[in-house]
Amino acid sequence: MQSETHFRELCHQHQLAATHQRQLIYETVMAMPGHPSPEAIYDKVRKRIPSISLATVYKNIHTFLDSGMLREVSLHHGSLRVEANEEAHHHVVCVKCKSIMDLEESSMESVLVRDKLPQGFQVKRIAVDVIGVCLACSSSARQSGTHSTRIRKQRVRKTVHS
Ligand SMILES: [Zn+2]
Ligand SMILES: [Zn+2]
């Protein structure tokens, strides 16, 4: 039971009680790629513990976040997202569809804040959020843009006629 030992060690390091329920939730998150929401995690956990509630999953996710066993992703999209990727990295966030993509740390070598931080500030991690609009969202916006212009033109023509 390698994973169980690993989980117990992690809980010990983070001063958490290693319950069976917590282990299942943690394992589920670690097996999910990307940046799942608590609801998506709940959907998977429920397959292993059918009696579990969304509130319990939320509570445990927050416990993991507070203890540092899991990470919370950028708040710019307005809802909680969790991630298992423990490598230092940054995020590219689309404000329209709320998609979050990872950007490897080396792609942002110009993060020179370490020298400028308040004295005594202990850095846990440095993560930069690149906020914008993804290609899919910007091209669909352009399409609906031309569409509404066309409608407007038709309306104008009608008013001229009448
Ligand atoms: Zn988008
Ligand atoms: Zn990420």
Question: Per residue in 66-114, pLDDT tens?
Answer: 988 888 886 666 778 898 877 888 889 888 888 888 988 887 765 677 6
What are residue 87's DSSP bridge partners? none
Predicted TM-score of the model (pTM)? 0.70
Q: Measure 94 CA to ligand 1 centroid, in angstroms.
A: 5
Whether the pLDDT of residue 157 is over 60: the answer is no
Residue 130: pLDDT over 50: yes
Question: What value does the mean pLDDT take over residues 18-26?
Answer: 94
Distance, in Å, from the CA atom of 82 to the CA atom of 124, rounded to the nearest integer, reads 17
Please check whether the domain covering 1-86 is classified as CATH 1.10.10.10.
yes
Is a pLDDT exceeding 50 seen at residue 158? no
Which ranges in the chain are annotated with CATH 1.10.10.10?
1-86
Ligand 2 centroid to 122 CA: how many Å?
22
The more confidently predicted of residues 140 and 161 is: 140
Q: Is the pLDDT of residue 118 over 50?
A: yes
Residues comprising the chain, all counted: 162
CATH of domain 87-162: 3.30.1490.190
User: Between β-strands 89-94 and 82-83, what pairing exists: parallel, antiparallel or unpaired?
Assistant: unpaired
Of the listed ligands, the closest to the CA of 125 is 2
CA of 93 to the centre of ligand 1 (A): 8
Q: Which residue spans of the chain are classified as CATH 3.30.1490.190?
A: 87-162
